Structure 1
Amino acid sequence: MSSSPTSSTFTSGDGDAFDHLDTPTLDAQSSTLLHSISEHGGYAYVRMATLAAAGDFRAAEAAREMAWEQLHSGPWHSVLPVWRDAYSMACLQVANLHFAGSDYREALRVLDMGLIMGGSLLRKDLDSAVDKVSAKARRDEVVSNSDSQLVRGEIDKAEMLRVLPERSLSCKMVVKRSALSLEGFLREYFLCCSPVIITDCMAHWPARSKWNDMNYLRRIAGDRTVPVEVGKNYLCSEWKQELITFSQFLERIQATDSSAVPTYLAQHPLFDQINELRKDICVPDYCFAGGGELRPLNAWFGPAGTVTPLHHDPHHNILAQVVGKKYIRLYPASYSEELYPYSETMLCNSSQVDLDKIDKREFPKVQDLEFVDCILEEGEMLYIPPKWWHYVRSLTTSLSVSFWWNVSEGSTVS
């Protein structure tokens, strides 16, 4: 057995080789990465990583813990990239040992932590390792034939209006367009910075039929670890984040207890993490308007009653409603002062106004502002221009995807 840190084959006590995860990038870059870690004071990490490569499980976990501490040593933007790559390396080593012991669920959990928290250097190794572990894990799965629809039936309109903000669906509605050409989108909405609902561009997505099936989602992603938000919304003091498996998340959003604290998988690049789900969706042609750059796709999965408070984003945005329904209210970018944004830098794109319970004394300008709103139905896309304020409420269990893109500075769209 090789004692080199680049070795990805582990052996048992009698010399027989265990099945292992292929890590070609780690094998090629290990020496360089360990040298860089040493230069940043990570001598103890290098010792543990060397032992881990030789099959020492305790050393592998110790190296991962050391890298984890470095990731939490200060603000995320100040973490040195080498420590993110070190964390990925340690995750691969720990996962390899779990895989050798046929503990596939734990191997997946560790690999997901590497994908979520690690750097870019070993991304391909992590992705290929996830594919191999997932294939092994699915061999042992028991497939359920029970009816497992996430969303069924219609919602009661009177009940819906009761939970929506005051004046909802009583003013101007967002325009709906069918068979909207890219030229028409550019001329009538993109260049004018005007929202629009596009009604017939998702019928060919596999996600339209697959994502309303709990059995499918469990089979594809059930053992994967995902970050979720717990609490009413990110502006509330009791709000927190957790890491849970996707199966646990599905159980929470299916819970019928209306008093339960909502769990929301929000603004997470899920499709970079779980490739099978990425194959179920397509990037709309509209996202290439202006010749800009597409940003990572974000998932917004949650139960009925989930709210994203009034805020704005700096990017062009198409929100695609795959499963369920959402209520969305939009105010033009020009209304920023009247919507009382927070003064703190971290929250300056969020309004202090709680549309579900407006304090008219504290925020008197809000009451008479014009807005447009809509019910975004399954299979519809909503274009939200940059800096437009928007409030979002899930009316049912809801699975949505947002496509953000920036327009290049030298763009000459006309």
Structure 2
Amino acid sequence: MSEDTTEPLVGPSILWKDLRVLLPDTEEELKLDLSEKVDRSVATLLRQALGLFYEGRWQKCLQASEAVLDYSWEKLNTGPWRDVDKEWRRVYSFGCLLKTLCLCQAPQKATAVAEALRVCDMGLLMGAAILGDILLKVATVLQTHLLPRKQPACGPHQDQPATKKAKHDASSTPDVVLDREVPRLRCPPLQHFKKHFLVPGRPVILEGVADHWPCMKKWRQRMSGTLLNTSCSTRSQS
């Protein structure tokens, strides 16, 4: 029996209530506060999407939010990641937030909410914190309400003969895949990382992507000082 992924969610109105309470009651209370670094046309489109959301025009809001994501995604993938302005990451997060919420409207299916959670995760990964880390709160709500997939029913006599034989065959050994080493990449392009690792869910060790962070420089300086003090202490004792 194949897995059923179209099961409707339990209490969809409860899900929407839990999501809606995370946002301000009115559009006027939601402050974008975008700087001039964001193109005026994109900022206008984002405000239009917010207006459509608060008007309850979910399909139009979904289309507008996807357009915002298209524009901001291009900005995120232009040049090295360290040069991506935080304002464009915030725009991307707003687009992910609106799309996530629109996807949680009718039809209330587990597949739709699973897609909403994926969009929310992309916002957490590629965007910047907005509205008090609202994307993290939305992801928590979606994970709570998302029903697990149905598992095939198992009875006491449903094992096939081949399965029974395998269980009692002491000489049977599992197949071993030797190529299990996690690859290492140093500062890969975002598009390459998304296509080959993020989307297929493959593990990868990223090197050098945080070298430009101020905290990394302070950490190296502190570690260098600690090693120097340790070396001097060892010499004095000897």
Q: TM-score range by the shorter chain?
A: 0.5 to 0.7
Counterpart for residue 128 of structure 2:
119
User: What's the CA shift string for 1:24-75, capped at 9, x where partnerless?
Assistant: 4898997543x424x2242222232223222321111111111111112222
**Cα distance in 1 for residues equivalent to 2:79 and 2:26:** 30
Check if 1:19 corresponds to 2:16.
yes
Distance in 1, Cα, partners of 2:76 & 2:200: 26
Cross-structure match for 1:40: 37
What's 2:47 paired with?
Answer: 50
Deviations 1:13-34 (A, max 9, x none): xxx999262444898997543x
Alpha-carbon separation, structure 1, partners of 2:28 and 2:88: 14
Distance in 2 (alpha carbons) for counterparts of 1:132 and 1:60: 21
Matching residue of 1:69: 74
TM superposition score normalised by structure 1: 0.33
Structure with the bigger RCO (C-alpha within 8 Å, sep 6+) is: 2
The one of 86, 91, 94 aligned to 2:96: 91
- Does residue 264 in structure 1 map to residue 216 in structure 2? no
**Change in 2 beyond 3 A, CA 1:232/1:86:** closer
Structure 1 residues 118 and 25: alpha-carbon distance in aligned structure 2, compared to 1, 3 A threshold? farther
Matched AA of 1:68: W
Distance 1:18 1:233 in 2: 40
Q: How many residues align?
A: 172
Selected match of 2:150 from 136, 142, 148 = 142
Q: Which residues of 2 match residues 226-305 of structure 1 at below 5 A?
A: 233-234=184-185, 240-242=192-194, 249=201, 263-267=202-206
**3-state secondary structure, aligned to 2:204:** strand
The aligned amino acid for 2:140 is: D
Structure whose residues are more often helix by fraction: 2
- Of the three residues 130, 138, 153, the one matched with 1:129 is 138
Q: Secondary structure of 1:88's partner?
A: helix
- 8 Å contact 1:26–1:89 — kept in the other structure? no
Gaps of 5+ in 1: 1-15, 147-152, 164-229, 250-262, 269-294, 296-312, 317-385, 387-405
Identity %: 20
CA distance 1:408–1:114, change in 2 (3 Å): farther
SS in 2 for 1:234: strand
TM-score (norm 2): 0.53
- More strand as a share of residues: 1
Give the deviation of 1:241 after TM superposition: 2.6
Secondary structure of 1:120's aligned partner: coil
Report how far residue 267 of structure 1 moved.
Answer: 4.2
Matches within 5 A, 1:3-402: 19=16, 21-22=19-20, 23-24=22-23, 32-33=31-32, 35-37=33-35, 39-53=36-50, 54=52, 55=58, 56-101=61-106, 102=108, 103-122=112-131, 124-137=133-146, 139-143=147-151, 233-234=184-185, 240-242=192-194, 249=201, 263-267=202-206
Residues 234 and 79 of structure 1: CA distance in aligned 2, closer, same or farther (over 3 Å): closer
Deviation digits for residues 107-160 of structure 1 (CA, Å, limit 9, x no counterpart): 0111011011001335621111111111221x24225799xxxxxx9999xxx9
Q: 1:79 to 1:30 in 2, by over 3 A?
A: farther
Unaligned runs of at least 5 residues, structure 2: 1-12, 53-57, 155-172, 187-191, 208-214, 234-238
Which amino acid letter does the alignment assign opposite residue 69 of structure 2?
R
Contact (CA 8 Å) 1:25, 1:122: kept in 2 or not? no
